[in-house]
Amino acid sequence: MAVLSVAFIAFSAPPYLSFDPSASRLDLQPGSALHYPMLAVHVAFGSVALLTCCLQLWPWLRRTYPAVHRTSGRIYVFAGVLPAGLSGFVVAYLSTSGMPMQAATFTMGALWLIFTFVGYRMARQRRFAEHREWMIRSFALCLAIPVDRLWVGVFMAIAMPRLDTVYGGDHDAMMVAVAGSAFWMSWVINLLIAEWWLRYRRPAGAVQSRTPSAMG
């Protein structure tokens, strides 16, 4: 996953570091002076989130250098997720990729911020088992961005043979459907896998033992 993330950053980030709107890999909202700068901000801080996410998921680093783990965790939260998530809302609002993509981005962005905030609070309260669970959910959403490109390939393979029959030869309409479907799948499937993994790893009886205290 680290290799995929680094490859994704190496491919995606350069067009937004040039500060040249014509280099954007995404279609920009006509007449909007805000779309490209916010996209550049989103990509830059999203890259920080991806890189620090990979560090957070490295068990050896967490065990051997806990101070580095804590520092990279703070960077992930405050120099990664927070600015990338907030700028992502603006990018989603201005997106030309259609309502399905906008809905997927708004929903994922809100969950990403919530999961990360809850995970950070758990760490501050020294509830480290819960902190780890919430941050795994956050990481699952963070890693949805590079995984999305894999889903785009899957949906392109499904949609291309139907370009004329389903989309009437309209390539733009096909790409709107592909982009929205791929992004929904990328983060929903990631989150489902994370939840399954958490339940699988959770000690037997852990859920039951929490129930009385949860009910007060």
**pLDDT value at residue 204:** 60
Which pTM does this prediction carry?
Answer: 0.85
In the predicted structure, residue 196 carries a pLDDT above the cut 90: yes
Structure confidence by residue, pLDDT tens digits, 74-121? 999 999 999 999 999 999 999 888 899 999 999 999 999 999 999 999
Does residue 153 surpass a pLDDT of 90?
yes
- 213 falls in which pLDDT band (50, 70, 90)? very low
Query: What integer pLDDT is reported at residue 216 of this predicted model?
Result: 32
Across the chain, mean pLDDT equals: 88
The 3-class SS string of the chain reads CHHHHHHHHHHHCHHHHCCCHHHCCCCCCCCCCCHHHHHHHHHHHHHHHHHHHHHHCCHHHHHHCHHHHHHHHHHHHHHHHHHHHHHHHHHHHHCCCCHHHHHHHHHHHHHHHHHHHHHHHHHHCCCHHHHHHHHHHHHHHHCHHHHHHHHHHHHHHHHHHHHHHHHCCCHHHHHHHHHHHHHHHHHHHHHHHHHHHHHHHCCCCHHHHHHHHHHC
